[in-house]
Amino acid sequence: MVKIAFFDIKSYDRDFFAKENKKYNFDFQFIENRLSERSVKFIEDGTEVVCLFTNDIVDEKIVDHLVKKGVKLIALRCAGYNNINLDAVRGKISVVRVPEYSPYAVAEHTFALLLDLNRGISRAGRRTREFDFRLHGLLGFDLNGKTVGVIGVGKIGKVFIKIAKGFGMNVIAYDKVQSEDLERGLGFKYVDDMDEIFTKSDVISLHCPLLPSTRHIINEASIDKMKNSAVILNTSRGALINTKDMLDALLSEKIAGAALDVYEEEADYFFEDCSDSNFLKDPILAQMLGMHNVLVTSHQAFFTKEALNNISETTLANVKSFVDGKKLVNEVK
Ligand code: NAD
């Protein structure tokens, strides 16, 4: 029987994978720890597949351990693969991923963040529970007529643009690949230079992958070009933003706000319950959480029933193709 070791597994993952496994009857080993040099030792003998999530880091050392254990396939249960050192795995272990599970989930969450940050929804909800019905600090702006700059018009970026158009926003977008049909169909305008996104946008939303070329695209220099009223949204990957530069800009009121579902140092905190700590050791995260113009969610944009269904379906279908020696349509090369 094919053995799959799942790392960083949570109860909701187990439920969806167990349901989907009725089709396959794979032998599951659930390991709650993230993949590390310590936890890699928990993999049972005879395991050929490990199933990983966004914060399971696969570097050269981990690859050596996995190879020694006899692991032949890394089945990522996520779309991004920046946590895998592809040079280190090449020729040793195949990697598959779930390229698309619900662009709607992520795009809708991005908009939820924008609406909440702009109109102070969470803040107002906390206040009214305390029977405080005042409006101070809750002043927002109309989205209608404002310019939103989208970086990365892929599966998620496209859905985000449709939603933004529904709110009457003027959409400009930067992507290294442009499609006139898409531009016409969705009613937005490409810009040829990313700087135009920075200078013209009231809201900037990041939907490109994290690559060496996109790391820290939001930094002191790009922020300098932005309007003082600009709001930054990031549901893509934390390291697209130099967070220290962004925090400085927020504190000096160079920009107006930020809503983040991802953070470059998220691995120590996100998805975990740290509520028994007296304070957060990460000073940047701690400071941002104390600011009314910053909203942070814990990498939950993907978290809908539809997405979890698609993730378990595609992940186990990827494993089945590997076991059957078929072409790996979702292979990361
Ligand atoms: P996608 O591959 O469909 O689209 C990415 C787009 O970015 C493509 O159009 C590509 O041409 C463009 N791009 C690549 N390099 C670029 C560059 N240098 N500058 C501008 N554009 C560039 O990906 P997707 O499914 O839309 O996902 C986008 C990102 O969202 C993923 O990479 C992932 O990091 C993130 N994501 C986050 C969550 C979450 O829960 N927060 C869930 C899924 C995906």
Q: Please report, in tens digits, the pLDDT of each residue of the chain (333 residues total).
A: 899 999 999 999 999 999 999 999 999 999 999 999 999 999 999 999 999 999 899 999 999 999 999 999 999 999 889 999 999 999 999 999 999 999 999 999 999 999 999 999 999 999 999 999 999 999 999 999 999 999 999 999 999 999 999 999 999 999 999 999 999 999 999 999 999 999 999 999 999 999 999 999 999 999 999 999 999 999 999 999 999 999 999 999 999 999 999 999 998 899 889 999 999 999 999 999 999 999 999 999 999 999 999 999 999 999 999 999 999 999 998
Please report, for residues 73, 264, 311, 318, 322, the alpha-carbon distance to residue 325 in angstroms, rounded to integers and kept in the order given: 12, 37, 21, 11, 5
- Residue that has been written with the tokens 């794979």 in this structure: 26
- What gap in Å lies between CA 105 and CA 204, rounded to an integer? 19
Closest CA to ligand 1's atom 8: 154
Closest CA to 83 of 238, 233, 315, 199: 238
Which entry of 20, 97, 237, 264 is annotated as an active-site residue?
A: 237
Counting atoms of ligand 1 from 1, which one is nearest the CA of 153?
Answer: 9
Q: What is the per-residue pLDDT for 198? A: 98
Q: What is the per-residue pLDDT for 102? A: 95
Q: What is the per-residue pLDDT for 105? A: 97
- First-to-final CA distance of the chain: 27
Active site residue 237: yes
CB 263 within 8 A of CB 270: yes
Active site residue 299: yes
pTM: 0.93
Counting atoms of ligand 1 from 1, which one is nearest the CA of 301?
Answer: 40
Decide whether any atom of ligand 1 lies within 6 Å of the 176 Cβ: yes
Q: What is the per-residue pLDDT for 80? A: 87
Active site residue 180: no
